[in-house]
């Protein structure tokens, strides 16, 4: 799942949905997220239970990375609701990327309802070992 | 766009979302550990013959989920492993809770333990619990 491809899909989707998005009546959830920085990359991990890989969108607009996902939990046909704690809705969260993220290297995957995004640091900001030469 | 049934569900239960928000807030104040009884979030549906339960369990190894049925009580327990963070990693946000969880659901009737089926899809555990034959309502013929 590359960001570029997703971006393209998002654009297409927006074109199709247009004004329909504004009348959306479903709740928007903020996915619980972990963010950490490793030596060569940043990692963003977001809980999006019920969202299939095909229903996740990553959208990069300059410094803003937006993740969205849809989840559908309608009552099964022929069943009554006895107890309900979560409903169908949309996950959405926006992150601001720092200068040192290599935009072209962003990778994402979805497993067990968890979105994991790896954002590599650009070459110039990566810590480097500099050899000290003796004269 | 969205099936009509979802909108109806929302209007019929405006408190579901509030409750969820409350859970998220209390979880945040608990330092990211699970408060007994609030995780995983559950939906329960039923009819005369079967109960279906859905549990939001993102990122939980399905092998680590344990289901127990005793009488008309379903217990769901397990553990969510924390994301491996290296010693040299800088952590900016840690909102995803980890640790052991347990939740108990009272079912409307006894179920047939042999016929319980569970599947884990996209971080949601779906459990189908068919009603036990012996507790099904029966028509009793009156002999005259």
Spell out the CATH class of B35-81+98-134.
mainly beta
A79 Cβ under 8 Å from any chain B Cβ:
yes
**Partners of residue B66 on adjacent β-strands:** B77
CA–CA separation, B103 and B40 (whole Å): 7
A62 falls within a domain: yes
Query: Is 50 exceeded by the pLDDT of residue B10?
Result: no
pLDDT band at B116 (very low <50, low <70, confident <90, very high): very high
Residue A49 lies in a domain: yes
Give me the pLDDT at residue B45, please: 95
Closest listed residue to residue B34, CA positions, set B16, B57, B52? B57
Which sequence spans correspond to the domains of chain B? 1-32, 35-81+98-134
Nearest-CA residue of chain A relative to B41? A85
A7: domain CATH number is: 2.60.40.790
Whether A110 is in a domain gets the answer yes
Q: Is A20 within the bounds of a domain?
A: no
Of B9, B62, B95, the CB nearest to A33: B95
**Is the bond preceding residue B93 a cis peptide, omega within 30 degrees?**
no
Distance to chain B for A1, nearest Cα, Å? 16
Does residue A108 lie within any of the structural domains? yes
> Do B9 and A38 lie within an 8 Å CB cutoff?
no
Q: A28: which 2 tokens?
A: 């928007």
Interface of A with B in 116-135 (CB under 8 A): none
Residue A95 in domain: yes
Mean pLDDT for the stretch of residues B3-30? 49
pLDDT digits (tens, 9 = 90+) for B50-79: 999 999 999 999 998 999 999 889 999 999
pLDDT tens, position by position, A79-111: 999 998 888 999 999 999 988 899 899 999 999
What residue of B is the nearest CA neighbor of A22?
A: B1
Chain A residue with the nearest C-alpha to that of B18? A85
Domain that holds residue A102: 3-15+28-74+86-121
Find the closest chain A residue to B9 by CA distance: A87
Question: Which residues of chain A are within 8 Å of residue B44 when distances are taken between CB atoms?
Answer: 81-84
| Strand residues in chain B grouped as ranges (E) | 42-46, 50-56, 65-70, 73-80, 90-94, 99-106, 117-121, 124-130
Model ipTM value: 0.72
Measured distance CA(B56)–CA(A79) in Å, rounded: 19
d(CA B56, CA A86): 8
The burial class, CB within 10 Å (0-12 / 13-18 / 19+), for A77 is exposed
Chain A closest CA to B140's CA: distance in Å? 26
Query: What is the tally of structural domains in chain A?
Result: 1
């Amino acid at each position: 799942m590359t960001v570029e491809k997703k971006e393209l899909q998002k654009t297409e989707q927006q074109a199709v949905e247009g004004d329909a998005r504004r009348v959306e009546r479903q709740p928007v959830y903020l996915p619980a997220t972990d963010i950490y920085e490793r030596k060569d990359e940043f990692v963003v991990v977001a809980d999006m239970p019920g969202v299939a890989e095909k229903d996740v969108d990553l959208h990069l607009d300059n410094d803003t990375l937006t993740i969205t996902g849809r989840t559908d939990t309608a009552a099964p046909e022929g069943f009554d609701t006895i107890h309900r704690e979560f409903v169908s809705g949309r996950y959405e969260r926006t992150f601001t990327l720092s200068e040192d993220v290599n935009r072209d290297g962003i990778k994402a995957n979805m497993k067990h309802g968890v979105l994991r995004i790896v954002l590599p640091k650009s070459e110039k900001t990566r810590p480097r070992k500099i050899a000290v030469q003796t004269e | 766009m969205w099936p009509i049934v979802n909108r109806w569900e929302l209007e019929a239960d405006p408190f579901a979302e509030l409750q969820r928000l409350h859970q998220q807030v209390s979880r945040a104040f608990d330092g990211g550990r699970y408060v007994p009884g609030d995780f995983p979030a559950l939906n329960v549906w039923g009819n005369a013959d079967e109960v279906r339960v859905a549990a939001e369990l993102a990122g939980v190894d399905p092998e680590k989920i344990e289901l127990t049925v005793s009488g008309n009580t379903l217990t769901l327990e397990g553990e969510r492993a924390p994301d491996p963070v290296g010693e040299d990693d800088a952590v900016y946000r840690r909102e995803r809770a980890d640790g052991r969880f347990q939740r108990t659901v009272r079912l409307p009737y006894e179920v047939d333990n042999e016929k319980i089926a569970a599947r884990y899809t996209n971080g949601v555990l779906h459990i189908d619990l068919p009603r036990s034959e012996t507790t099904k309502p029966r028509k009793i013929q009156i002999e005259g």
